Amino acid sequence: MNLFTSTVGRKILMAVTGLMLVGFITVHLLGNLSIFWGADAINAYAKHLHDLGPLVWIFRLVMLCLFAIHITFGVQLYLENKAANPEPYAVQKTLVTTFSAKTMVFTGLIILAFLIYHLLHFTVQVTNPDISAHNLPLVDGHLDVFTMVVMSFQKVFIAIIYLIAMVALFLHLSHGVSSWVQTLGWSTGPSQDKVTALGKLVAIVYGLAYIAIPLFILAHIVK
C-alpha cells in the first residue's frame, strides 16, 4: 500500500496528522485560557513561547507540514469521492453528525482561511498595527499580548470572525475526532457509538472553551 497514493493510505495520513493537530489545539487552548487568570498569566505564557527561540521555527515547520498534508489529502479525497458518488452518501445517526460529516471539507477550508488571518493578526501582527503588541508599551520588559488580544476582541468585526471560525472548528472536530479513531481501526462494532459520543463531547468542550475567549472579551467580562 502506498501511503501517498492509495485511498486507505491517504486516510491514514489524514487521521495521523489530524490527531497531531488536535494535540496542538489542546496545548494552544490551555495556553490561551490563561487569559482568564489575567494579563500576567497570558503574557508569561507568550514569553515562554518566544523564549523557545529556534525550537519555535522547528515547531512551525512541523505544523506547516501537518497542515499541508491534512488539507491536500482532505481536498483530494473529497473531490475523488464526489466524482465517484455524485449523490450524498453516509447515513449518519444524528443531525449534528450528519451535518458535520457532510461539511468537513467546507469547515476545514474555513479553518484554513481563519488560520491565515489569525497568523497575520496575532503572529505577524499586520492586520491591526495600532493594537499590535510590538506597538504597545512593554510590561515588565515583555510584549503585552494580553492587551493586544483584549483590544482585538473588543472590536466586534474581529470577534465575529473568530466566533465563526470557532463554530467551524467545533463542527470539524465533531466528526473529525471520531473518524480518525475509526480510520485507524481502533473502534469497531458497539464501541463505535461510544467513540462518536466521545468525539462530540471533545468538540463541545473545545468549541465552548475557544468560543469563550472572544465572547467574554466582547461582553467586557474579561478586560
Q: Which residues of this protein are in contact with ligand HEM, per CB under 6 A? A: 25, 28, 32, 46, 49, 56, 60, 63, 111, 115, 118-119, 122-123, 145, 149, 162, 169, 210, 213-214
CA 73 to CA 160: how far, in whole Å? 29
How many C-beta atoms lie closer than 10 Å to residue 28's C-beta?
Answer: 12
Q: How far is the CB of 123 from ligand HEM (least distance, A)?
A: 4
Contact between 176 and 199 (Cβ < 8 Å):
yes
Nearer to ligand HEM, 16 or 44 (CB): 44
Q: How far is the CB of 196 from ligand HEM (least distance, A)?
A: 22
Nearer to ligand HEM, 8 or 64 (CB): 64
Q: How far is the CB of 220 from ligand HEM (least distance, A)?
A: 16
Nearer to ligand HEM, 141 or 189 (CB): 141
CA 24 to CA 44: how far, in whole Å? 19
Count of alpha carbons within 13 Å of 144, Cβ hemisphere only? Answer: 13
CA 185 to CA 12: how far, in whole Å? 10
C-alpha cell at position 46: 507568550
Nearer to ligand HEM, 39 or 192 (CB): 39
How many C-beta atoms lie closer than 10 Å to residue 190's C-beta?
Answer: 7
Burial of 50 (0-12, 13-18, 19+ CB in 10 A): exposed
Nearer to ligand HEM, 25 or 101 (CB): 25
Q: How far is the CB of 56 from ligand HEM (least distance, A)?
A: 6
Q: How far is the CB of 96 from ligand HEM (least distance, A)?
A: 20
List of residues 6+ apart from 107 with CB closer than 8 A? 100, 168, 169, 171, 172
Nearer to ligand HEM, 15 or 159 (CB): 159
Contact between 122 and 149 (Cβ < 8 Å):
yes
Q: How far is the CB of 32 from ligand HEM (least distance, A)?
A: 5
Nearest 5°: phi and psi at 103? -105, 15
Residues facing residue 142 across a β-bridge: 139
Q: How far is the CB of 34 from ligand HEM (least distance, A)?
A: 10
Nearer to ligand HEM, 105 or 119 (CB): 119
